[in-house]
Amino acid sequence: MTAQASTAPTDKRKAIVEALMDLAAQRPWREIEIADIAKAAGVSLAEFRDLFPSKGAVLGALSRMVDRQVLEGTTDDLAGEPARERIFDVLMRRFDALQPYKEALRRISQDLQYDPVSLAALNQVALNSQRFMLAAAGISTEGPLGALKLQGAVLVYANTMRTWLDDDDPTLARTMARLDRELRRGERIVEGAEDLRRLSAPLRAVGRAFMQGRRSVRSEWRRAGDDNGDTQNPAAAI
């Protein structure tokens, strides 16, 4: 296989993403047909189908492209900084990477805000993206609070994005201020959850002991049933 042939699918995938973003900047989302995207990207419908199942999936590809750009630009320069500073840097670099698609994203956001099915699908895309953004910032998403951190990052990003979409100042001062506020709010929520988890540790231990006790009683009951040749009748354990 030649180098050109091996890279062709990637080139076509990027062409489709760029074509959709160009169209989305000019017309409502609901008016963009798959055939329009394929034509603008210079691919056949068959090639489009091989690469994407829907135009919504193309948005997912855009997210992955931007993720990759951010991750490739991630260094250890901020390793010694507080977690809030690290995630601030990562998310602002993500907004920078999205800048060429800002008008398209503005229109898409307006068109999909009352579409719960599409919003649910995009939330899953955002969850996958933020998992890697947090990893780039050196923030764990494993453990008991991992899901809270992950969904919190999605909310922080979504809330900040609403400001970013309307922030046409080259310095993005409003966006940075909003992101800082959202991160501080999220930080307090996670800290509160960690405190609650520590305070509830004795209760969880009691609960585990209680459940272990019930399992032991259930095992004794089952053994008693076996000894009496009746495992189906609860009265056999009496």
Give residue limits of the domains in the chain: 3-199, 201-237
Q: How far is CA 128 from CA 12, 25, 124, 153, 184, in A?
A: 23, 25, 6, 11, 22
Domain covering 3-199 in this structure, CATH number: 1.10.357.10
The pTM of this model reads 0.76
Between the alpha carbon of residue 120 and those of residues 5, 116, 222, the distances in Å are: 36, 6, 45
| Spatial CB neighbours of 32, under 8 Å, sequence gap ≥ 6 | 20, 23, 24, 55
Nearest to 105 by CA among 204, 25, 50: 25
Rounded Cα distance between 50 and 6, Å, is 15
Written as tens digits, the pLDDT of the chain (238 aa) is 444 444 477 899 999 999 999 999 999 999 999 999 999 999 999 999 999 999 999 999 999 999 999 999 988 888 888 889 999 999 999 999 999 999 999 999 999 988 888 888 888 899 999 999 999 999 988 887 888 888 899 999 999 999 999 999 999 999 999 999 999 998 888 777 665 555 544 544 444 554 565 556 556 656 655 555 544 443 333 2
Which single residue is written with the structure tokens 């390793």? 79
**Residue 70 burial (C-beta neighbours within 10 Å; 0-12, 13-18, 19+):** buried
